Amino acid sequence: MTRNKLIVALDFPTLQEARRCVLTCAETVHYYKVGMELYYAAGNEIIAFLKEHQKQVFLDLKLQDIPNTVSRAVRILTRLGVDMINVHASGGLKMMQAARQSMQEQVQTLGITPPKLIAVTVLTSMDETEFEVLNYKTSVAEQVVSLAKLAKQAGLDGVVASPQEAAGIRQACGDDFLIVTPGVRPLGEDTQDQRRITTPAQAIKNGADYIVVGRPITQAADPQAVARAIEQEINFKK
């Protein structure tokens, strides 16, 4: 499949609503994020539906537990044939290494293309004030870069981070390290529960490989038109 920079978040409570959105945006959107809400509601049925329609899938379950548990979970999720899976970088180096090893073993056993394995750094809903309550001794930006470097050390393909930190990650981790950025809002859109945000064009300019956009597209009167406008914006960012 071609490299698609826009990932649309299917944040729906039912399979029917998600399917309707995918069919509405079929001509424009080729990469979708399936998060906890939809996956818990629809399970593997939504993955099968997206693959039947030749879509790429980012399975966003943000795994975090002891290394053995995450390793076993990643082994199972790898079988689904999705294109990207994530864990929490704050789970630590050993947890991320175990996830990577488990995925590699499963890929070799099944003879399939490996999904990208990436790590969540700091949620884009958090600002500096909320971050300070957690008693970290660094700024959000410093913590994000530190976790990105740890993910790279663990052998992961990239990270999820705010577009505001993308430039720092790119500088610290190099050009081959994937940066996936939620917290992207077109000009004039409500920020909702996102805090560290930028526009689509600015996210790409900062170094993001993929931008994740949900409600500004999925709740629009014409989702495909909004998605098409975002695609045009990021393709002509210069």
Q: Where are the domains of the chain?
A: 6-235
pLDDT in tens, 6-34: 999 999 999 999 999 999 999 999 999 99
Q: What integer pLDDT is reported at residue 187 of this predicted model?
A: 55
* Distance separating alpha carbons of residues 174 and 52, to the nearest angstrom: 35
Q: What integer pLDDT is reported at residue 6 of this predicted model?
A: 96
Task: Name the one residue in this structure whose structure tokens are 């999904």.
Answer: 115
* Distance separating alpha carbons of residues 89 and 150, to the nearest angstrom: 7
Q: Is the pLDDT of residue 168 over 50?
A: yes
Task: Name the one residue in this structure whose structure tokens are 């004030």.
Answer: 129
Q: Is the pLDDT of residue 183 over 90?
A: no
pTM equals: 0.92
- Residue numbers annotated as active site: 62
* Distance separating alpha carbons of residues 23 and 134, to the nearest angstrom: 42
CB within 8 A of 104, min separation 6: which ones? 114
Backbone angles phi, psi at 199, to 5 degrees: -80, 165
Helices and strands: H and E segment counts in the chain: 11, 8
Q: Provide the token pair at 84.
A: 């990207």
For the chain, percent of residues with pLDDT exceeding 70: 93
- State the chain's mean pLDDT as an integer: 92
C-beta separation of 118 from 157 below 8 A: yes
* Distance separating alpha carbons of residues 15 and 74, to the nearest angstrom: 23
Q: Which residues pair with 35 in a beta bridge?
A: 60
Q: What integer pLDDT is reported at residue 238 of this predicted model?
A: 45
* Distance separating alpha carbons of residues 163 and 60, to the nearest angstrom: 17
Q: Is the pLDDT of residue 2 over 50?
A: no
C-beta separation of 46 from 10 below 8 A: yes
User: Domain 6-235 class?
Assistant: alpha beta
CA 141, distance to chain mean position in Å, is 18
Q: Is the pLDDT of residue 192 over 70?
A: no
Q: Which of 64, 33, 32, 155 is nearest to 103 (CA)?
A: 155
DSSP H or E stretch at residue 220: none
- The mean pLDDT value for 118-147 works out to 91
pLDDT in tens, 44-67: 999 999 999 999 999 999 999 999
**What is the β-pairing status of strands 210-213 and 56-63?**
unpaired
Q: Which of 137, 175, 179 is nearest to 161 (CA)?
A: 179
